């Protein structure tokens, strides 16, 4: 069911890779799904992520936490003694170092780096929003999520409207043995959507998986 939902979301706009030829894409794919070496983790993530769609066909879906609330600036999940909340904030350009690429033919400027790093979320344009915080609790214990795990992810979208109904694709999944928690977020955009999975293993944050270039419109 999860795979069918993801296919329907993207085939509406033809799933393909997108890049504006007027400026270079300096983002790399070292954190992409294809680079995952852990077989169990790769199998799990393929069951819900777009980047693992081919490998995920026929696999059993993972159990997930219940979404207990979402709005324009936050989403929250809870269940099995775990709670997760992602909160958005406002991007303040004055607090960041911005690097641009200028097209020599059109003289048009494109934002390609923020604080020295390529970024995700409407790449080439000034962001409006940030991910302000990710709060994860295992009972009363807080799981520390380092800021660098989300500092380069911008303009998050926590829900979308379809036929007048507010829906969401983001979710929190649990591995079959309960050791891994996968926090999944998809940011849909016309110029090449991105998806990120933050991985928590045995109660500690271990890595993220980021893929981009999915065209929605």
Question: Nearest Cα to 34, choosing from 214, 209, 164?
Answer: 209
Is pLDDT at 65 greater than 70 in this prediction?
Answer: yes
pLDDT for position 8: 44
- For the segment 96-106, the average pLDDT, to the nearest whole number, is 95
pLDDT for position 216: 53
Is pLDDT at 100 greater than 50 in this prediction?
Answer: yes
Range from 13-22, 86-95, 190-199, 200-209 carrying the lowest mean pLDDT: 13-22
Which phi and psi angles does 34 have, rounded to 5°? -65, -20
Range from 97-111, 157-171, 186-200 carrying the lowest mean pLDDT: 157-171
Q: Which helix (H) or strand (E) holds 138?
A: strand 129-138
pLDDT for position 13: 38
Q: Which residue has the higher pLDDT, 10 or 196?
A: 196
Rounded CA gap, 26 and 35, in Å? 18
Phi-psi region of 155 (alpha: psi -120 to 50; beta: other; left: phi over 0): left
Query: For all residues of the chain together, what is the average pLDDT?
Result: 89
Rounded CA gap, 127 and 78, in Å? 29
pLDDT digits (tens, 9 = 90+) for 21-60: 688 999 999 999 999 999 999 999 999 999 998 998 888 8
Is pLDDT at 18 greater than 80 in this prediction?
Answer: no
Q: Which residue has the tokens 């295992």?
A: 138
Asked whether residue 3 is assigned to any structural domain, the reply reads no
- For the segment 97-104, the average pLDDT, to the nearest whole number, is 96
Is pLDDT at 142 greater than 50 in this prediction?
Answer: yes
Rounded CA gap, 196 and 175, in Å? 17
Q: Which domain holds residue 210?
A: 12-60+76-214
Q: Please, which pLDDT band fits residue 172 given cuts at 50, 70 and 90?
A: very high
Both tokens assigned to 173: 């999944």
Asked whether residue 133 is assigned to any structural domain, the reply reads yes
Asked whether residue 199 is assigned to any structural domain, the reply reads yes
pLDDT for position 71: 86
- pLDDT > 90: what percent of the chain? 73
Asked whether residue 82 is assigned to any structural domain, the reply reads yes
Asked whether residue 105 is assigned to any structural domain, the reply reads yes
Q: Which residue has the higher pLDDT, 189 or 30?
A: 30
Give how many domains the chain has, as a whole number. Answer: 1
- For the segment 7-33, the average pLDDT, to the nearest whole number, is 66
Question: Nearest Cα to 31, choosing from 129, 187, 157, 152?
Answer: 152
CB neighbourhood size of 158 (10 A): 23
Asked whether residue 136 is assigned to any structural domain, the reply reads yes
- For the segment 134-154, the average pLDDT, to the nearest whole number, is 97
- For the segment 80-94, the average pLDDT, to the nearest whole number, is 97
Rounded CA gap, 17 and 37, in Å? 24
């Amino acid at each position: 069911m999860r795979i069918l939902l993801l296919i329907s979301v993207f085939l509406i706009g033809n799933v393909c890779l997108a890049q504006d030829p007027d400026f270079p894409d300096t983002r790399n794919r070292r954190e992409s799904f294809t680079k995952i070496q852990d077989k169990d983790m790769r199998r799990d993530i393929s069951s819900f992520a777009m980047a693992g769609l081919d490998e995920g066909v026929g696999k059993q879906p993972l159990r997930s936490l219940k979404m207990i609330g979402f709005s324009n600036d936050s989403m929250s999940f809870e269940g099995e003694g775990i709670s997760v909340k992602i909160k958005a904030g406002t991007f303040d350009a004055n607090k960041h170092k911005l690097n641009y690429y200028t097209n020599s033919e059109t003289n048009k400027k494109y934002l390609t780096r923020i604080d020295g790093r390529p970024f995700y979320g409407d790449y080439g344009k000034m962001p409006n929003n940030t991910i302000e915080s990710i709060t994860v609790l295992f009972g009363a214990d807080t799981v520390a999520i380092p800021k660098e795990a989300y500092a380069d992810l911008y303009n998050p979208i926590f829900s979308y409207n379809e036929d007048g109904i507010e829906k969401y694709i983001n979710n929190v999944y649990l591995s079959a043995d309960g050791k891994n928690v996968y926090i999944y977020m998809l940011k849909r955009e016309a110029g090449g959507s991105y998806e990120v999975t933050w991985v928590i293993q045995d109660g500690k944050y271990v890595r993220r998986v980021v893929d981009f270039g999915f065209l929605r419109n």
